[in-house]
Amino acid sequence: MGKKDRENLSIIDKELKIEGSIISTGKLIIKGQVTGTIDGDIVLIAEEGLVNSSLTKVSSLTIGGDFKGEVLATKELIILATGTCAGKVDCQDLIVENGGILNADVSCKTSSRLSPEKESSSFVSGLKRKEKQIEL
Protein backbone atom coordinates (compact mmCIF):
# COMPACT_ATOMS: atom_id res chain seq x y z
CA MET A 1 0.00 0.00 0.00
CA GLY A 2 1.14 3.50 -0.84
CA LYS A 3 0.91 6.49 1.43
CA LYS A 4 -2.41 8.32 1.39
CA ASP A 5 -2.35 12.06 0.97
CA ARG A 6 -3.58 13.29 4.31
CA GLU A 7 -4.41 16.83 5.13
CA ASN A 8 -2.60 18.05 8.24
CA LEU A 9 -4.91 18.30 11.25
CA SER A 10 -4.01 20.22 14.40
CA ILE A 11 -6.20 20.65 17.47
CA ILE A 12 -5.92 23.16 20.29
CA ASP A 13 -7.98 21.36 22.92
CA LYS A 14 -10.36 22.81 25.52
CA GLU A 15 -7.88 23.09 28.37
CA LEU A 16 -5.07 24.61 26.30
CA LYS A 17 -4.31 28.36 26.30
CA ILE A 18 -1.85 29.73 23.77
CA GLU A 19 -0.31 33.22 23.66
CA GLY A 20 1.80 34.08 20.64
CA SER A 21 1.90 33.27 16.93
CA ILE A 22 0.46 30.16 15.32
CA ILE A 23 1.45 29.09 11.81
CA SER A 24 -0.35 26.02 10.50
CA THR A 25 -0.93 24.13 7.28
CA GLY A 26 -4.00 22.05 6.65
CA LYS A 27 -6.85 22.25 9.14
CA LEU A 28 -6.59 23.81 12.60
CA ILE A 29 -9.40 23.26 15.12
CA ILE A 30 -9.45 25.58 18.14
CA LYS A 31 -11.39 24.38 21.19
CA GLY A 32 -9.25 26.26 23.72
CA GLN A 33 -8.08 29.86 23.96
CA VAL A 34 -5.71 31.65 21.60
CA THR A 35 -4.32 35.16 22.04
CA GLY A 36 -2.01 36.36 19.28
CA THR A 37 -1.69 35.94 15.53
CA ILE A 38 -2.79 33.03 13.35
CA ASP A 39 -1.51 32.25 9.87
CA GLY A 40 -3.06 29.16 8.31
CA ASP A 41 -5.13 27.43 5.67
CA ILE A 42 -8.43 26.26 7.18
CA VAL A 43 -9.23 27.30 10.74
CA LEU A 44 -12.29 26.21 12.71
CA ILE A 45 -13.12 27.81 16.05
CA ALA A 46 -15.32 25.31 17.90
CA GLU A 47 -18.27 26.38 20.06
CA GLU A 48 -16.12 26.39 23.20
CA GLY A 49 -13.17 28.12 21.45
CA LEU A 50 -12.07 31.68 22.13
CA VAL A 51 -9.70 33.65 19.89
CA ASN A 52 -8.40 37.16 20.51
CA SER A 53 -6.21 37.90 17.51
CA SER A 54 -4.44 41.04 16.36
CA LEU A 55 -4.25 39.47 12.87
CA THR A 56 -5.56 36.19 11.50
CA LYS A 57 -4.64 35.38 7.88
CA VAL A 58 -6.34 32.25 6.52
CA SER A 59 -7.97 30.92 3.38
CA SER A 60 -11.10 29.81 5.27
CA LEU A 61 -12.32 30.61 8.80
CA THR A 62 -15.35 29.01 10.43
CA ILE A 63 -16.44 30.51 13.75
CA GLY A 64 -18.60 28.48 16.11
CA GLY A 65 -17.18 30.12 19.25
CA ASP A 66 -15.90 33.64 19.91
CA PHE A 67 -13.52 35.60 17.70
CA LYS A 68 -12.25 39.11 18.44
CA GLY A 69 -9.75 40.94 16.28
CA GLU A 70 -8.79 41.31 12.64
CA VAL A 71 -9.28 38.55 10.08
CA LEU A 72 -8.19 38.32 6.45
CA ALA A 73 -9.86 35.31 4.79
CA THR A 74 -8.84 34.89 1.15
CA LYS A 75 -11.73 32.51 0.45
CA GLU A 76 -14.51 32.51 3.02
CA LEU A 77 -15.63 33.47 6.49
CA ILE A 78 -18.44 31.39 7.96
CA ILE A 79 -20.11 32.35 11.24
CA LEU A 80 -22.18 29.49 12.63
CA ALA A 81 -25.34 29.95 14.70
CA THR A 82 -23.26 29.64 17.90
CA GLY A 83 -20.50 31.97 16.67
CA THR A 84 -19.59 35.58 17.46
CA CYS A 85 -17.21 37.72 15.43
CA ALA A 86 -16.14 41.22 16.46
CA GLY A 87 -13.46 43.50 15.03
CA LYS A 88 -12.41 43.90 11.39
CA VAL A 89 -13.17 41.43 8.59
CA ASP A 90 -11.74 41.30 5.07
CA CYS A 91 -12.93 38.27 3.09
CA GLN A 92 -14.05 37.05 -0.30
CA ASP A 93 -17.28 35.28 0.72
CA LEU A 94 -19.22 35.82 3.95
CA ILE A 95 -21.82 33.44 5.36
CA VAL A 96 -23.64 34.13 8.64
CA GLU A 97 -26.05 31.48 9.89
CA ASN A 98 -29.26 32.49 11.64
CA GLY A 99 -28.26 33.21 15.25
CA GLY A 100 -24.64 34.03 14.44
CA ILE A 101 -23.39 37.44 15.55
CA LEU A 102 -21.26 39.72 13.39
CA ASN A 103 -20.21 43.03 14.89
CA ALA A 104 -17.33 44.15 12.68
CA ASP A 105 -16.06 46.48 10.00
CA VAL A 106 -16.64 44.22 6.98
CA SER A 107 -15.12 44.31 3.51
CA CYS A 108 -16.05 41.48 1.12
CA LYS A 109 -14.34 41.27 -2.26
CA THR A 110 -15.30 38.97 -5.08
CA SER A 111 -13.39 38.47 -8.30
CA SER A 112 -16.60 38.63 -10.36
CA ARG A 113 -17.37 42.26 -9.47
CA LEU A 114 -17.02 44.82 -12.20
CA SER A 115 -15.07 48.01 -11.68
CA PRO A 116 -17.34 51.05 -11.07
CA GLU A 117 -16.61 52.55 -14.49
CA LYS A 118 -17.48 49.36 -16.36
CA GLU A 119 -20.55 48.78 -14.23
CA SER A 120 -21.98 52.25 -14.88
CA SER A 121 -21.14 52.23 -18.58
CA SER A 122 -22.76 48.82 -19.12
CA PHE A 123 -25.82 49.99 -17.20
CA VAL A 124 -26.12 53.16 -19.27
CA SER A 125 -25.55 51.34 -22.57
CA GLY A 126 -28.18 48.79 -21.48
CA LEU A 127 -30.64 51.63 -20.91
CA LYS A 128 -29.90 53.12 -24.32
CA ARG A 129 -30.55 49.76 -25.96
CA LYS A 130 -33.83 49.42 -24.11
CA GLU A 131 -34.88 52.93 -25.12
CA LYS A 132 -34.21 52.16 -28.78
CA GLN A 133 -36.21 48.96 -28.51
CA ILE A 134 -39.13 50.83 -27.00
CA GLU A 135 -39.09 53.48 -29.76
CA LEU A 136 -39.32 50.82 -32.49
Give residue 115's pLDDT.
42
**How confident is the model over 17-47, as pLDDT tens digits?**
999 999 999 999 999 999 999 999 999 999 9
Give me the residues of the chain with pLDDT under 50, please. 1-4, 113-136
E strands in the chain: 9-12, 17-23, 27-30, 33-39, 42-45, 50-63, 66-79, 84-96, 101-108
Report yes or no: 72 and 53 within 8 Å, Cβ to Cβ: no
pTM: 0.76
